[in-house]
Amino acid sequence: MRQDDWQQHAWQQPQQPQPQAPQQPQQAPQQQAPQQPQSQAHQAQQQPPVQPQQPVAGYPGAAYAVPQQQPRRGWIVALVAVILLFIALMFGMFSCSNAFSGVTSLGTSLESSSPVATTGPTIAVINLSGTIQYDGSACSPEGLKALLDEAEEDPDIKAVVLRVDSGGGTATAGEEMAAYVKDFSKPVVVSSASMNASAAYEISSQADWIYTAKSTAIGSIGTAMQVTDLSGLYEKLGIDIENITSAESKDSSYGTRPLTDEERASYQHTVDQINETFLETVAEGRGMDIEDVRALATGLTFTGIDAVENGLADELGTLEDACAKAAELGGAGESYDVVTLEEESSALDDLLSWENSSDESDVLEALKELDTDGSIVK
Over residues 159-164, mean pLDDT: 98
- Which carries the bigger pLDDT value, residue 126 or residue 368? 126
Angle at CA of residue 223, ends 212 and 304, nearest 5°: 15
297 C-beta neighbours (distance < 10 Å), count: 19
Q: Measured between alpha carbons, how far is 188 from 308 in angstroms, rounded to an integer? A: 18
| Amino acid found at 288 | M
What is the average per-residue pLDDT within 185-214? 98
Whole-number CA gyration radius for the chain: 41
* pLDDT band at residue 350 using 50, 70 and 90 as cut-offs: low
Active site residues: 198, 250
The closest of 222, 217, 205 to 311, measured between CA atoms, is: 205
313-348 burial code (b ≥16 CB/10 A, e <16)? bbebbebebbbbbbbbbbebeeebbbbebbbeebbb
pLDDT score recorded for residue 343: 83
**pLDDT above 80 (res 40):** no
For helices 261-286 and 171-183, the axis angle rounded to 10 degrees is 20
**How far apart (Å, rounded) are the C-alpha atoms in residues 240 and 362?**
54
What's the burial of 99, exposed, middle or buried (CB within 10 Å: 0-12/13-18/19+)?
middle
Residue 83, number of CB atoms within 10 A of its CB:
10
Q: If you average pLDDT over each of 79-83, 136-140, 372-376, which comes out highest?
A: 136-140
* Mean pLDDT on 356-368: 57
pLDDT at residue 50 greater than cutoff 80? no
Beta bridge partners of 249: none
Q: Given this model, what pLDDT does residue 366 score?
A: 57
| Cα gap 18→59, rounded to integer Å | 10
Can you state the percent helix, strand and coil of the chain, rounding each to 5? 45, 15, 40
Listed in order, the ranges of the chain carrying CATH 3.90.226.10 are 113-220+300-344
As a whole-number percent, the residues of the chain with pLDDT over 90 amount to 59
- Per-residue model confidence as pLDDT tens digits over 61-80: 444 444 555 555 666 767 77
What are the tens digits of pLDDT across the range 289-320? 999 999 999 999 999 999 999 999 999 999 99
* Residue 93 reports pLDDT greater than 90: no
**The pLDDT value given to residue 194:** 98
Question: Distance between CA 338 and CA 131 in Å, rounded?
Answer: 25
CA distance 137 to 193: 18
Give the residue-averaged pLDDT of 52-58. Answer: 46
For residue 65, what pLDDT is reported? 46
Separation between Cα atoms, residue 135 and residue 202, nearest integer Å: 19
| 113-220+300-344, CATH topology level | 2-enoyl-CoA Hydratase; Chain A, domain 1 (3.90.226)
Half-sphere exposure of 238 (CA within 13 A, CB side): 0
- Amino acid, res. 104: T
pLDDT score at 346: 55
Q: What pTM value is reported for the model?
A: 0.65
Closest CA to 300 of 371, 229, 198, 188: 198
Cβ atoms of residues 156 and 194 within 8 Å: no
What is the pLDDT averaged over residues 262-266? 98
pLDDT in tens, 227-236: 999 999 999 9
For the cut 60, the answer to whether the pLDDT of residue 184 exceeds it is yes
Are the CB atoms for 163 and 193 separated by under 8 Å?
yes
72 in helix, strand or coil?
coil
pLDDT at residue 59 in the model:
42
Output the pLDDT for position 118.
Answer: 82
- Residue 99: band (very low, low, confident or very high) from pLDDT cuts 50, 70, 90: very low
Q: Once rounded to an integer, what is the mean pLDDT over residues 121-137?
A: 97
| Segment 4-38, tens digit of pLDDT | 544 444 444 444 444 454 454 444 444 444 454 44
pLDDT above 50: residue 42:
no
